[in-house]
């Protein structure tokens, strides 16, 4: 089914470190911009994407806080959590709620405030996105540990090396340099990336998405606009490394991609511009394969040949991606939409020279526990 | 719009203290029972209601964990949070998602694991359900403090006294005595309730819902069954005491009630049996007024006259309510549905002698930040 849902407004904060802004300030700032951009006077419901507000800011009930602070009236609100896919899941619930006929216009907003906490605290809270009841917790597995293992296996199975991961990180940094909202805009080089501090072999500092404060919002409506949500799809996958049948597969990404193409009546060859959840450089490559942009185990060659660059065949993460735009968890899935809507409107950072009409966003949660994919269309 | 959504199965764990069960065990136990009760072989999505899993169990991604552990396949899942209304909100998202046409059959499950944490930790985490960015946090306001203030004002405006609150607590305990799933089944008396340890004047121990471990689940489908979700409605309200225009009003409850009656084409006079979110004895009385079962400021008289007892005109909390059945936060809104479905099926603890056909559940979040109301019908 094609979702009769349209995007009317987008907003986001700069991504970075904001000592003087509370979690709710980030939500409100992004929301106000999206509502202003949409030019709407009435919002029927609010969906919030957030992952660590309870743990790091002692703040839940974010839905009600947004509705109250924006003076939206006694409207229904809720928070959605699906680890790093919280924003994409909130977006999808907004889409489904409009499809249900219950609401005409909804605000979807995601944010995370992380920079005030210590790195070890953030690492512990991120680990709540793995199943904590198992020996993997006892063994001390972390997210960089997981994707580092995956990268080593990928190198073993293919001809890829640390240099190909570095090319992903460099591409995304070069894109971020043109994006004023990005956390990191400082130029870098392949050598700097290859020689950076190791996080988990083979992933160095530039291969890992950072800790970030930020927010992003979108206003959806059943009333037509020139940006349509052509399809929305979601899937889940293993919550444990030991349950992965193939370390080089992300079934949630593959299945969510298959579903979204089926719903949209499109294939990967029809997509003009993509935002992929590059929590690690390795993850961008794997997911680009699972979404059909490259054959299995050949994504690294696409990167090597520059195909995923802004001027390539299938531009991926023109925003700078999680790696360089930043990764304020609850905002991430919605910030992907922000960048793609600007591409479809023709005024994005790193705007494609040939105006895109079909865009795809993929948001991952956990080590592959969640994947949400949306296809947007300029109509 | 009448929701074309039906209830096919229900399940719940006993409510109480379960040292040997993890949060996910409670989710799985309730889910298995609901799926077995429904007799379905395919679930299209899972919605989880949970409030403090991240803070107290270091465990998020509950949706994916349930889907994985139950072997439901790579289906979409998400967690919903709206403080103590998390369960009701998850239920509502399940209903809307079926109405959207996206899913045929969904599992909605809520749980909380709280008893392993200290009371002071639980109190701090519960306080994340108030806006933490204000002077009310600095002043040390807690939930018993809020509803204690409300009770004192209620006494001032009406002829009510601590004894009327005690009658609510006694009624709910008497109901819980017949409910094998309830946390508290020990008989009590008005005297014991009136003389119990004070929590926040005038609310004593029996006026406050307890800390509880437990889970509850429901299977919804667009395929017909003999229990229909006749209407679903939700509203939000102030997140701060200083924003309440009237301390004796819960606008979220009032507005969600007005909406649900309008959607159902029914009024309070048509409801046969009710579960109200009695986080405090005072709250049951206030919400019974906001939902139209009694005129404003007269709910205490209804209690005094026994109208809310199992054999009264409008039986409220035949399960024992939050006060005596227990309040495992994420499970609460779904456990209300469990009891009402059993009433509609004719096999509930405290089954009404005249078979009910229309039932109403009201689930509150925060100090009135969220209210979700569902009307169920035996068809």
Which of B113, B115, B47 has its CA nearest to residue B81? Answer: B47
Which of A348, A363, A364, A266 has its CA nearest to residue A315? Answer: A348
What are the residues whose beta carbons fall under 8 Å from the beta carbon of A71, sequence distance 6 or more? none
Alpha carbon distance A362, A291 (integer Å): 9
Is residue B138 within 8 angstroms of chain A, CB to CB? Answer: no
Mean pLDDT computed over every residue of chain B: 97
What are the residues whose beta carbons fall under 8 Å from the beta carbon of A269, sequence distance 6 or more? none
Task: Flag whether A10 is in a domain.
Answer: yes
Task: Flag whether A349 is in a domain.
Answer: no
Nearest CA in chain A to B86: A78
Catalytic residue among A8, A277, A327, A374: A327
A245, A249, A255, A257 alpha-carbon torsion, rounded to 10°: 180
Alpha carbon distance A324, A321 (integer Å): 6
B128–A236 C-beta distance less than 8 A: no
Task: Flag whether A307 is in a domain.
Answer: no
| Chain B contact probe: residue of A57, A65, A78, A85 with most B CBs at under 10 A | A78
Looking at residue B3, what is its pLDDT?
55
Looking at residue A1, what is its pLDDT?
45
Task: Flag whether B347 is in a domain.
Answer: no
Q: How many CA atoms lie within 13 A of A86 on its CB side?
A: 33
| Alpha helices by DSSP H, B265-298 | 281-290
Cβ-Cβ pairs closer than 8 A, A with B, add up to 189
- Report the residue from B132, B235, B251 with minimal CB separation from A76: B235
Alpha carbon distance A109, A95 (integer Å): 13
Mean pLDDT computed over every residue of chain A: 97
A161 to A152, A156, A201, A296, A323: CA distances (angstroms): 9, 9, 12, 16, 18
Alpha carbon distance A16, A184 (integer Å): 8
- C-beta separation of B166 from B306 below 8 A: no
A24–B133 C-beta distance less than 8 A: yes
A84 is catalytic: yes
Alpha carbon distance B178, B349 (integer Å): 6
Show the domain range for A47: 5-117+212-221
A61–B370 C-beta distance less than 8 A: yes
Task: Flag whether A43 is in a domain.
Answer: yes
Would you tell me how many other CB atoms lie within 10 Å of the CB of residue B142? 15
The confidence band for B235, taking pLDDT boundaries of 50, 70 and 90, is very high
Strands A203-204 and A198-200, how do they pair?
antiparallel
What are the residues whose beta carbons fall under 8 Å from the beta carbon of A105, sequence distance 6 or more? A8, A38, A40, A42, A43, A44, A98, A219, A220, A221, A222, A223
Tally of domains in chain A: 1
Which of A338, A328, A331 has its CA nearest to residue A361? Answer: A338
Nearest CA in chain B to A100: B100
Compute the nearest-CA separation of A85 from chain B (Å): 9
Burial label, B178 (beta-carbon count in 10 A; 0-12, 13-18, 19+)? middle
What are the residues whose beta carbons fall under 8 Å from the beta carbon of A198, sequence distance 6 or more? A204, A205
Q: How many CA atoms lie within 13 A of B247 on its CB side?
A: 16
Is residue B195 within 8 angstroms of chain A, CB to CB? Answer: no
Looking at residue A2, what is its pLDDT?
46
First to last CA, chain A: 17
- Neighboring chain B residues of A238 at a CB cutoff of 8 Å: 68
Rg (CA), chain B: 19
- Report the residue from B60, B132, B238 with minimal CB separation from A58: B132
Compute the nearest-CA separation of A325 from chain B (Å): 24
SS3 category, A293: coil
Q: What is the pLDDT of residues A248-285, one digit of tens each?
A: 999 999 999 999 999 999 999 999 999 999 999 999 99
B290 to B171, B251, B275, B285, B293: CA distances (angstroms): 20, 8, 14, 9, 8
Ramachandran angles phi, psi of B276, nearest 5° = -115, 145
B52–A52 C-beta distance less than 8 A: no
Buried b (16+ CB within 10 A) or exposed e, B317-331: bbbbbbbbbbbbbbb
A239–B61 C-beta distance less than 8 A: yes
pLDDT above 90 (res B14): yes
CA atoms B155, B161, B162, B164: torsion sign: negative
- Check which CATH number belongs to the domain holding B57 and give it: 3.40.47.10
Q: Name residues 281-340 of chain B within 8 A of A (Cβ).
A: none
A128–B59 C-beta distance less than 8 A: yes
Task: Flag whether A66 is in a domain.
Answer: yes
- Neighboring chain B residues of A77 at a CB cutoff of 8 Å: 82, 236, 370
Buried b (16+ CB within 10 A) or exposed e, A177-216: bbbebbbbbeebeeebbbebeebbebbbebbbbbbbbbbb
Looking at residue A343, what is its pLDDT?
98
> Which residues of chain A register pLDDT less than 50?
1-2
Alpha carbon distance B306, B38 (integer Å): 36
Looking at residue A3, what is its pLDDT?
55
Is residue A80 within 8 angstroms of chain B, CB to CB? Answer: yes
Compute the nearest-CA separation of B281 from chain A (Å): 23
Is residue B57 within 8 angstroms of chain A, CB to CB? Answer: yes
ipTM for this model: 0.97
Looking at residue A138, what is its pLDDT?
86
Is residue A65 within 8 angstroms of chain B, CB to CB? Answer: yes
Looking at residue B88, what is its pLDDT?
98
Is residue B81 within 8 angstroms of chain A, CB to CB? Answer: yes
Alpha carbon distance B60, B50 (integer Å): 9
- Report the residue from B81, B101, B102 with minimal CB separation from A79: B81
- Report the residue from A55, A82, A96 with minimal CB separation from B97: A96
B360 to B42, B230, B232, B314, B376: CA distances (angstroms): 28, 10, 10, 11, 6
SS3 category, A321: helix
Task: Flag whether B283 is in a domain.
Answer: no
Alpha carbon distance A117, B229 (integer Å): 44
> Distance from CA of residue A275 to its chain's centroid?
7
* Average pLDDT score over residue span B161-185: 98
Residues in chain B: 379
What are the residues whose beta carbons fall under 8 Å from the beta carbon of A20, sequence distance 6 or more? none
Task: Flag whether A270 is in a domain.
Answer: no
- Report the residue from B51, B58, B238 with minimal CB separation from A60: B51
Count helices and strands in chain A by DSSP H and E runs: 13, 11
Looking at residue B1, what is its pLDDT?
46
Alpha carbon distance A88, A315 (integer Å): 20
- C-beta separation of B178 from B322 below 8 A: no
CA atoms A299, A304, A310, A311: torsion sign: negative
- C-beta separation of A9 from A41 below 8 A: no
Q: What is the pLDDT of residues B188-207, one digit of tens each?
A: 999 999 999 999 999 999 99
- Neighboring chain A residues of B65 at a CB cutoff of 8 Å: 131, 239, 369
Is residue A243 within 8 angstroms of chain B, CB to CB? Answer: yes
* Average pLDDT score over residue span B295-324: 98
B60–A81 C-beta distance less than 8 A: yes
Q: What is the pLDDT of residues A4-15, one digit of tens each?
A: 899 999 999 999
SS3 category, B139: coil
Q: Name residues 17-56 of chain A within 8 A of B (Cβ).
A: 22, 24, 51-55
């Amino acid at each position: 089914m094609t979702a009769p849902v349209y995007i009317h407004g987008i907003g986001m904060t700069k991504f970075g470190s904001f000592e003087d802004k509370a979690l709710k300030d980030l939500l409100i700032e992004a929301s106000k911009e999206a509502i202003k951009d949409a030019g709407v006077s009435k919002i029927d419901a609010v969906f919030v994407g957030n992952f660590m507000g309870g743990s790091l800011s002692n703040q839940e009930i974010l839905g009600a806080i947004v509705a109250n602070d924006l003076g939206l009236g006694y409207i229904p609100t809720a928070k959605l959590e699906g680890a790093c896919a919280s924003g994409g899941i909130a977006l999808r619930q907004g889409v489904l709620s409009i499809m249900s006929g219950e609401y005409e216009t909804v605000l979807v907003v995601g944010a995370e405030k992380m920079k005030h906490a210590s790195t070890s605290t953030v690492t512990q809270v991120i680990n709540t996105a793995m199943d904590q009841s198992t020996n993997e917790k006892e063994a001390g597995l972390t997210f960089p540990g997981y994707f580092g293992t995956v990268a080593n296996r990928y190198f073993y199975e293919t001809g890829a090396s640390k240099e190909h991961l570095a090319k992903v990180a460099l591409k995304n940094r070069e894109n971020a340099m043109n994006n004023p909202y990005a956390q990191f805009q400082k130029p870098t080089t392949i050598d700097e990336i290859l020689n950076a501090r190791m996080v988990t072999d083979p992933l160095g500092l530039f291969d890992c998405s950072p800790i970030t404060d930020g927010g992003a919002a979108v206003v959806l409506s059943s009333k037509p606009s020139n940006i349509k949500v052509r399809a929305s799809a979601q899937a889940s996958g293993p919550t444990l490394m030991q349950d992965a049948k193939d370390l080089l597969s992300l079934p949630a990404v593959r299945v969510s991609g298959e579903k979204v193409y089926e719903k949209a009546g499109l294939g990967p060859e029809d997509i003009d511009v993509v935002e992929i959840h590059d929590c690690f450089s390795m993850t961008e490559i794997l997911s680009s394969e699972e979404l059909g942009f490259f054959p299995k185990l050949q994504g690294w060659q696409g990167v090597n040949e520059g195909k995923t660059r802004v001027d390539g065949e299938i531009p991926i993460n023109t925003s700078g991606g999680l790696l360089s735009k930043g990764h304020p968890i609850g905002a991430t899935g919605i910030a992907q939409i922000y960048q793609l809507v600007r591409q479809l409107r023709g005024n994005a950072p790193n705007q494609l020279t040939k105006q895109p009409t079909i865009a795809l966003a993929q948001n991952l949660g956990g080590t592959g526990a969640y994947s949400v994919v949306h296809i947007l269309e300029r109509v």
